């Protein structure tokens, strides 16, 4: 199980940072969607130590679940 670091920059709540354990990156993102409140315009960084984090922007919230859009993706 990997330990992922996250940072959420929220206009409503300020900056929240923490760790989450998951077998996969997708599992970590799914857990954050259900456990960390987010609003449209919030920025999420998620990654593991030694690698740059993936950046996402919350584009909408449907019910209680945020929908994330990848930001700053570089071409390979």
The string over 32-50, giving b where at least 16 C-beta atoms fall within 10 Å of a residue's C-beta and e elsewhere, is bbeebebeeebbbbbbeee
Nearest alpha-carbon partner for 5 in 65, 35, 50: 50
Is the CB of residue 51 less than 8 Å from the CB of residue 4?
A: no
pLDDT tens profile 23-48 = 999 999 888 888 888 889 999 999 99
> What pLDDT is stored for residue 33 in this prediction?
83
For the chain, domain boundaries: 2-71
Predicted model pTM: 0.83
pLDDT tens profile 46-71 = 999 998 999 999 998 877 788 888 88
Is the CB of residue 21 less than 8 Å from the CB of residue 1?
A: yes
């Amino acid at each position: 199980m990997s330990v992922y670091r996250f940072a959420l920059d929220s206009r409503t709540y300020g900056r929240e940072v923490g760790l989450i354990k998951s077998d996969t990156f997708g599992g970590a993102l799914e857990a954050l969607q259900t456990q960390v409140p987010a609003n449209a315009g919030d920025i999420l960084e998620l990654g593991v130590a030694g690698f740059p984090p993936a950046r996402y922007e919350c584009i909408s919230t449907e019910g209680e679940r945020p929908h994330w859009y990848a930001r700053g993706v570089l071409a390979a």
